[in-house]
């Protein structure tokens, strides 16, 4: 048992083996020659980025929902290419509405499909301006009104209203207007989902990439281990080691200021007796009649892999709801009450950093949604500005 083992002395302790934690661990080991202990409560490395082969088909699935790597940060791109090569995959999404698959995000392709004729860029801009004039953005009092003020009622009702209600389990009329800051319509036929300079998927998969980050012999990864069950023993064995904590911020302080609100995701994976179910990696289901928000078909993420079966495919339906109890937190809800709690937790975290050399990072440790490249970039900055000085770098 992890809580009964004899812990060695380490220079740095990292709680959590997602991209943030592994980036800090890798830098400390390879750049400063420090011994690093990485503790992970799950039975596998990598946090939500973990991927594995579906046993019946061998098709690589992303266990916690689709992960698409993209970045315009040159430092991050140079860093990650030390551990994996990338395919030339470009992410494209389609949206199912009333039995028709539309190009997504909203652009000229969707506008022309939805309204049934060709609109030039100028004509489409005029159309959306006319439809969104129903409500002035500054007068919007809820999410529905805000969305209509940005894209007009027809597009809102078809592609935003029911999808948002499924995501939040709440009528958009009862959600705050500030939940939407932007709702862009592209006035081109470019339907690439991301506009970053670099985009692709790891050639050998996410788990291989993550394992390469932790491959240095000075890094010890211990799985199936809850930090709060072993904290006293680990700190006693490594009294001078700073701690980089990437778990839930409120959990660290025993929810003393209340529980921060999160949305969680449920996944339903199925093997189908067909070589291709939907013809694309991700299909959004925007209508209320479907209780899931989207379906992933993982064979389409790696069309270059010739070993996938031709008569079977793996799909994953994704459901969204509020997180409760021990549910895995995915997206911060960030209500006004959450933001007030977060301010108080940040004050406690600052004191913990000063008094106990505990640094808080990552999605859970900072209560913010971070794409993979953002987590890696933030970890590199933390290593440079905080961890390295603490370790004498």
Tokens representing residue 268 in the block: 């339903």
From the list 282, 255, 232, 270, the residue with the least C-alpha distance to 66 is: 282
- Amino acid 326: pLDDT: 87
- Amino acid 291: pLDDT: 96
Shared-domain flag, residues 211 and 271: no
- Amino acid 300: pLDDT: 98
- Amino acid 116: pLDDT: 97
Q: Which pairing describes strands 60-62 and 51-53: parallel, antiparallel, or unpaired? A: antiparallel
Instruction: In whole angstroms, give the CA distance from residue 270 to residue 286.
Output: 21
> Which residue numbers in the chain have pLDDT < 70?
1-3
Q: Which of 296, 322, 348 is the last residue of a domain?
A: 322
Domain that holds residue 299: 262-322
- Amino acid 180: pLDDT: 85
Q: Which residues are catalytic?
A: 182, 186, 263, 294, 318, 369, 371
Shared-domain flag, residues 109 and 85: no
Shared-domain flag, residues 145 and 233: no
Q: Is residue 139 part of a domain?
A: yes
Instruction: In whole angstroms, give the CA distance from residue 379 to residue 19.
Output: 8
Q: Is residue 327 part of a domain?
A: no
In 10 A of CB 326, how many CB atoms?
A: 5
Instruction: In whole angstroms, give the CA distance from residue 132 to residue 134.
Output: 5
From the list 193, 198, 186, the residue with the least C-alpha distance to 80 is: 198
- Amino acid 393: pLDDT: 77
Long-range contacts formed by 229-232: CB under 8 A, 24+ apart: 229/2, 229/3, 230/2, 230/3, 230/7, 230/39
- Amino acid 179: pLDDT: 83
Total number of domains constituting the chain:
3
Global pTM reads 0.94
Shared-domain flag, residues 337 and 214: yes
Shared-domain flag, residues 286 and 338: no
Q: Which of 129, 148, 179 is the last residue of a domain?
A: 179
Shared-domain flag, residues 75 and 36: yes
């Amino acid at each position: 048992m992890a809580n009964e083992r004899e812990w060695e002395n380490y220079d740095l302790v990292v709680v959590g083996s997602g991209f943030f934690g592994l980036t800090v661990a890798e830098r400390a080991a390879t750049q400063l020659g420090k011994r690093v202990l990485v503790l992970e409560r799950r039975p596998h490395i990598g946090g939500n980025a973990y991927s594995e082969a579906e046993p019946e088909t061998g098709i690589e699935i992303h266990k916690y929902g689709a992960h698409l790597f993209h970045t315009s940060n040159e430092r991050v791109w140079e860093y990650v290419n030390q551990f994996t090569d990338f395919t030339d995959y470009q992410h494209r999404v389609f949206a199912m509405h009333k039995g028709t698959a539309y190009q997504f995000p909203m652009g000229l392709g969707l506008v022309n499909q939805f309204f049934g004729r060709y609109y030039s860029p100028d004509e489409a801009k005029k159309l959306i301006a006319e439809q969104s004039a129903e409500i002035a953005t500054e007068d919007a009092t809820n999410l529905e009104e805000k969305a209509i003020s940005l894209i007009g009622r027809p597009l809102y009702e078809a592609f935003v209203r029911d999808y948002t209600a499924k995501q939040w389990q709440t009528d958009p009329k009862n959600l705050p207007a500030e939940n939407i800051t932007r709702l862009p319509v592209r006035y081109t036929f470019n339907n690439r989902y991301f506009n970053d300079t670099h985009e692709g998927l790891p050639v050998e998969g996410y788990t291989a990439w993550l394992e390469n980050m932790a491959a240095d012999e000075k890094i010890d990864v211990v799985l199936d281990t809850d930090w709060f069950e072993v904290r006293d023993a680990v700190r006693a064995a490594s009294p001078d080691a700073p701690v980089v904590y990437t778990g839930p911020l409120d959990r660290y302080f025993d929810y003393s200021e209340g529980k921060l609100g999160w949305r969680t995701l449920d996944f339903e994976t199925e093997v189908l007796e067909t070589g291709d179910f939907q013809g694309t990696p991700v299909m959004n289901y925007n209508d209320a009649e479907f209780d899931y928000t989207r379906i992933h078909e993982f064979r389409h993420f790696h069309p270059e892999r010739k070993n996938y079966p031709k008569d079977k495919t793996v799909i994953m339906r994704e459901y969204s709801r509020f997180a409760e109890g021990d549910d895995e937190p995915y997206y911060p809800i960030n209500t006004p009450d959450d933001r007030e709690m977060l301010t108080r937790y940040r004050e406690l975290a600052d004191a913990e950093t000063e008094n106990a050399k505990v640094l808080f990072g990552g999605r859970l440790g900072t209560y913010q949604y971070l794409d993979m490249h953002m987590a890696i970039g933030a970890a590199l900055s933390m290593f440079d500005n905080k961890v390295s000085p603490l370790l004498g770098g």
